[in-house]
């Protein structure tokens, strides 16, 4: 029986089971409204589940209020206390734990050093930059040395550049701490950069759980494939490509594995099993490369292909600048056998069983 939480008629978290291994970071990834934040709040004790149990460090904590749960949380808005300075914020949980003042000051200093804010203890929190506030929030959550760290979209309130910088830093820190952590995000690149395993959530359920490579290589269904950034997901595979028996299954075309060749080279495509003539429908510049929409009559579909100038120019016989692909141009798309795959992935239940056996500390 997994964890379930309803709000009125809406099932926000629907029969979810998840176990974290020692020192593991799991990302809860999904679109807004998928229940990932509610799941995090259930774990924190800020919401009570309608059914299911939570276990932490061997003890059932389902009925334990948040203040006695030994869980640290970094909020999306940081939720720093505006009436306390940086040190006061970090020390908040230590005061509640009854730590003596001298020891407290030492611990606060240690944590501020850890997050790169040494010497800023007396600063007012509203005088900090967004990145600094984020670090204070992290230090505050870590101060009481919780058994589990929860992070609710901790980077979403920061600008793009800062997010990139902090992403790497946070990944190193989580690795170094060796603490169990649950990380909520809607940004797949954050999830893949930070987490040992990613739990892809949709409509209150975990639809796929595994290391990032596994999710990217074998998305469980069309929705998962699209959410993870695959652009060529089809209701059904072209008959000419896949064996019979694949009817009714969604299919994914990995355009990143395919190559563009000049139109007259169809027969010299060599080792690639799937070659097909294609016509450029639309060409949009994307930074140093192109995003091409190609019509492939042989497969009866249109596919999106992205690549650099060099490849496009070679396939279309274009001059070095200012040559650009034009709609109507013909070429050949050459794909290896595994570029087309059926989305008949494992069902979530099977993954749960796999996951449960991994952790020694069910929760």
Partner 1 sequence: MAHVAGGAAALYLAAFLLVPLGVILARGLAPEGVPVGAPIWETLTNRYYLGRIGFTLGQALLSTVLTVALGLPTALLFARYRFRGKRALTAAFTIPFVMPTVVAGIGFLALAGPRGVLGVDLRNSLAIVLAAHVFYNFAVVARLVASFLERVAPQLEEAAATLGAGRWRTLLRVTLPLALPATLAAAVLTFIFCFTSFGVILILAPAARFATLEIEIYNLTARLLQLDAAAVLVLVQLVLVLGAASVYTRLQARLAVQVAPGTAERPPTAGSRIILGADLLLAGGLVLAPLAALLVQAFTSPGGAFPSLVNFGNLLNVRPTLSFAGLWPALGNSLTFASLSTAVALLVGFAFAYAVARGGWRILDQASLLPLATSPITLAFGYLLTFPMLVTTFWGIPLAHALLAFPFVARTLLPALRAMPKQQLEAAALLGAGPVRTLWRVELPLLRSALLTAAAFAFAISMGEFGATLLLVRPEFATLPVAIYDRLGRPGAVNYGQALALAAILMLLTALVMLILQRRGRSEF
Residues binding partner 1 (CB under 8 A): 44-46, 65-69, 71-73, 75-77, 79, 81-83, 92-93, 95-97, 140-141, 143-144, 150
Instruction: Give the shortest CB-296-to-partner 1 separation in angstroms.
Output: 46
Q: Which is nearer to partner 1, 99 or 173 (CB)?
A: 99
Q: Which is nearer to partner 1, 129 or 240 (CB)?
A: 129
Q: Which is nearer to partner 1, 69 or 205 (CB)?
A: 69
Instruction: Give the shortest CB-67-to-partner 1 separation in angstroms.
Output: 5
Instruction: Give the shortest CB-146-to-partner 1 separation in angstroms.
Output: 8
d(CA 135, CA 330) in angstroms, rounded, equals 53
Maximum alpha-carbon separation in the chain: 80
d(CA 61, CA 171) in angstroms, rounded, equals 28
Instruction: Give the shortest CB-145-to-partner 1 separation in angstroms.
Output: 11
What phi and psi, each to the nearest 5 degrees, are found at residue 217?
-75, -40
Instruction: Give the shortest CB-261-to-partner 1 separation in angstroms.
Output: 51
| H or E segment and range at residue 134 | helix 130-142
DSSP state of 51: B
Instruction: Give the shortest CB-90-to-partner 1 separation in angstroms.
Output: 10
DSSP state of 197: E
Burial (CB count within 10 angstroms: exposed 0-12, middle 13-18, buried 19+), residue 77: exposed
Instruction: Give the shortest CB-214-to-partner 1 separation in angstroms.
Output: 32
Q: Which is nearer to partner 1, 81 or 308 (CB)?
A: 81
Q: Which is nearer to partner 1, 46 or 342 (CB)?
A: 46
Q: Which is nearer to partner 1, 133 or 351 (CB)?
A: 133
Question: Strands, DSSP E only, in 256-344?
Answer: 259-261, 274-286, 289-296, 301-308, 330-335, 340-342
Quote the tokens at residue 32.
């807004």
What phi and psi, each to the nearest 5 degrees, are found at residue 168?
-65, -40
Return contacts of 30-34, CB within 8 angstroms, 24+ apart.
30/186, 30/200, 30/201, 30/202, 30/227, 31/186, 31/202, 31/227, 32/186, 34/201, 34/202, 34/203, 34/204
Q: How far lies 28's CA from each of 231, 234, 295, in Å?
A: 22, 26, 36
Q: Which is nearer to partner 1, 144 or 325 (CB)?
A: 144
Q: Which is nearer to partner 1, 82 or 321 (CB)?
A: 82
**Cβ count near 173 (within 10 Å):** 19
User: Residue 256 in contact with residue 289, Cβ under 8 Å?
Assistant: no
Instruction: Give the shortest CB-61-to-partner 1 separation in angstroms.
Output: 13
Instruction: Give the shortest CB-102-to-partner 1 separation in angstroms.
Output: 19
Q: Which is nearer to partner 1, 90 or 195 (CB)?
A: 90
């Amino acid at each position: 029986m997994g964890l379930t939480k309803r709000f009125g008629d809406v099932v926000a978290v629907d029969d979810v089971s998840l176990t974290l291994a020692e020192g593991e970071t799991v990302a809860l990834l999904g679109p807004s409204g998928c229940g990932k934040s509610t799941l995090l709040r259930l774990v924190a004790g800020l919401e009570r589940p309608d059914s299911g149990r939570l276990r932490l460090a061997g003890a059932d904590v389902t009925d334990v209020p948040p203040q006695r749960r030994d869980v640290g949380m970094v909020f999306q808005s940081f939720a720093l206390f505006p009436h306390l300075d940086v040190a006061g914020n970090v020390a908040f949980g230590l005061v509640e734990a009854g730590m003596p003042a001298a020891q407290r000051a030492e611990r606060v200093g240690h944590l501020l050093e850890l997050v790169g804010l040494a010497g800023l203890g007396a600063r007012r929190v509203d005088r900090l930059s967004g990145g600094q506030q984020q670090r204070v929030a992290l230090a505050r959550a870590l101060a009481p040395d919780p058994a589990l760290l929860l992070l609710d979209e901790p980077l979403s309130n920061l600008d793009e550049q800062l997010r990139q910088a902090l992403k790497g830093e946070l990944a190193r820190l989580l690795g170094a701490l060796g603490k169990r952590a649950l990380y909520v995000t809607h940004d797949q690149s954050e999830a893949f950069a930070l987490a040992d395993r990613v739990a892809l959530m949709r409509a209150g359920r975990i639809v796929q759980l595994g290391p990032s490579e596994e999710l990217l290589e074998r998305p469980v269904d069309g929705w998962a494939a699209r959410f993870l950034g695959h652009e060529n997901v089809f209701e059904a595979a072209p008959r000419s490509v896949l064996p019979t028996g694949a009817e009714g299954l969604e299919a994914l075309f990995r355009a990143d594995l395919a190559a563009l060749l000049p139109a007259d080279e169809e027969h010299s495509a060599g080792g690639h099993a799937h070659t097909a003539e294609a016509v450029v429908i639309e060409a949009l510049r994307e930074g140093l490369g192109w995003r091409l929409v190609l019509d492939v009559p042989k497969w009866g579909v249109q596919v999106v292909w992205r690549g650099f100038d060099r490849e496009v120019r070679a396939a279309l016989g274009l001059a070095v600048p200012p040559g650009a692909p034009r709609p109507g141009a013909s070429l050949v798309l050459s794909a290896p056998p595994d570029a087309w795959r059926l989305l008949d992935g494992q069902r979530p239940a099977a993954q749960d069983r796999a996951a449960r056996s991994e952790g020694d500390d069910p929760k």
